[in-house]
Amino acid sequence: MHIIDRRLNPGGKSLENRQRFLRRAKSLVQGAVKKTSQERDIKDVLEGGEVTIPLDGMHEPRFRREGGTRDMVLPGNKKFIEGDYLQRSGQGSAKDSGPGEGDSEDAFRFVLSRDEFVDLFLDDLELPDLAKRKIAQTESEGIQRAGYTTSGSPANISVSRTVQLALARRIALRRPRKSEIDELEAEIAACTDEDVRAELLAKLEKLKAKSKRIPFIDPLDIRYRRFETVPRPVAQAVMFCLMDVSGSMSEHMKDLAKRFYMLLYVFLKRRYKHVEIVFIRHTDRAEEVDEQTFFYGPASGGTLVSSALQAMHEIVRERFNPADWNIYAAQASDGDNSYSDGELTGLLLTDKILPVCQFFAYLEVGESGGSAFDLSDSSLWTLYERLRSSGAPLSMRKVSERSEIFPVFHDLFQRRETSQEKAAP
């Protein structure tokens, strides 16, 4: 008779099977994830969670019989006698509650971890990289402190750590203190009684021997600083989020814009190890703000799109050398701009911004329902359309409903054949 405690055995034996299942069901789960993420608050997307996938797609077929005449024996007869007929349809007929044939498992909920969820969510997206993508993938080695080691080059001895260890060792071994020996010597010098003196001398001998046996620093104590090489990307990415928060932007529009940025944020965090995000919001003047303010801070005023572009341009010049950085920008606006600003905006874009940008995404947000939205193009839209047709790396989309955010996002950042696109005129 054995009784064994298996609780400490690693659980998750099914993890591998689960991954196989996920791989196999990838397209199904992916579809489910996309559907789920449309219904959900984008912030929650980061949390992962339940998706419902149709079991049918993962059906394992068996030869099953069905139809024909059926015989069944049931318990609980209350009133029937031989020869009775039961109605086939309607309540109380036995057929409804016949033996459970054909399990109805048409769909089931599948709990995805946060990572699995986001992975599947972003699986077929990527930042459109036109030039520097290759560089971004090669990484150079950097050096980083990584604790201590017992061997190394003398140049790397860590004195403080060594002394610390020596001290600890000596305390542990009860090393005689210098002051103790001094005291004893003074006592001997002062002592007159021969016997006591001899005794003290013996004691002194012992202490001295001990202090020799327990050296101040032992090879055991020596520690070297350890360094580790870590990969450092040569090129990094920076994303500029430009949001119009002027008075003409309704809450709904801001909500759309923010959702778009959150999605972008999740996406970038996932794809790039080193990604900087710069949040710029503007009314008739622009300011760089932190994430919190960007997403939640109130602000209002007139509209000058060029202010945001100008701010971006300055930040690029100061902090992000286009030679080292992949620069992306995403702008969300309702498309309103003051009439006088159009020309400046166009100039800034063509001269300063677009030449250094890998990709510039413009998202025009509209009111829910958005019928008027389709009527005439806004001033910004017209401007951008003109730039785009002259070959600028610019993508533009219109959104007026929450549920459109993901498809548009997907559309903008869909993995594409870069070479083909470049080849195309």
Residues engaged in binding another protein (CB under 8 A): 1-7, 9, 11-14, 16-25, 50, 55, 58-78, 80-88, 92-95, 97-100, 105, 108-111
- 327 to 266, 305, 320, 411: CA distances (angstroms): 17, 19, 8, 19
Residue 79 CB, nearest approach to another protein (Å): 10
* Residues paired with 149 in a beta bridge: 224
- Could you tell me if 348 and 309 are in contact, meaning their C-beta atoms sit under 8 angstroms apart? yes
Cα three-residue angle 312-315-317, rounded to 5 degrees: 110
Question: Residue 104 and residue 248: Cα distance in Å, rounded?
Answer: 52
* 95/317 with CB nearer another protein: 95
Question: Residue 328 and residue 331: Cα distance in Å, rounded?
Answer: 10
Residue 362 CB, nearest approach to another protein (Å): 41
* 21/381 with CB nearer another protein: 21
Q: What's the burial of 259, exposed, middle or buried (CB within 10 Å: 0-12/13-18/19+)?
A: buried
* 7/174 with CB nearer another protein: 7
Q: What's the burial of 126, exposed, middle or buried (CB within 10 Å: 0-12/13-18/19+)?
A: middle
* 105/290 with CB nearer another protein: 105
Give the tokens for residue 4: 């064994």
Residue 48 CB, nearest approach to another protein (Å): 14
Measured from the Cβ of residue 225, the count of other Cβ atoms closer than 10 Å reads 16
* 15/234 with CB nearer another protein: 15
Residue 83 CB, nearest approach to another protein (Å): 7
Measured from the Cβ of residue 312, the count of other Cβ atoms closer than 10 Å reads 27
Instruction: Tell me the one-letter amino acid at 106.
Output: D
* 108/216 with CB nearer another protein: 108
Residue 96 CB, nearest approach to another protein (Å): 9
Residue 46 CB, nearest approach to another protein (Å): 21
Question: Residue 53 and residue 30: Cα distance in Å, rounded?
Answer: 9
Classified as helix, coil or strand, 416 is: coil
* Residues paired with 34 in a beta bridge: none
* 67/425 with CB nearer another protein: 67
* 61/391 with CB nearer another protein: 61
- Could you tell me if 191 and 161 are in contact, meaning their C-beta atoms sit under 8 angstroms apart? no
Query: Rounded to the nearest 5°, which phi and psi values hold at 413?
Result: -110, 15
* 52/321 with CB nearer another protein: 52
Residue 158 CB, nearest approach to another protein (Å): 45
Residue 55 CB, nearest approach to another protein (Å): 8
Residue 8 CB, nearest approach to another protein (Å): 9
Question: Residue 362 and residue 243: Cα distance in Å, rounded?
Answer: 10
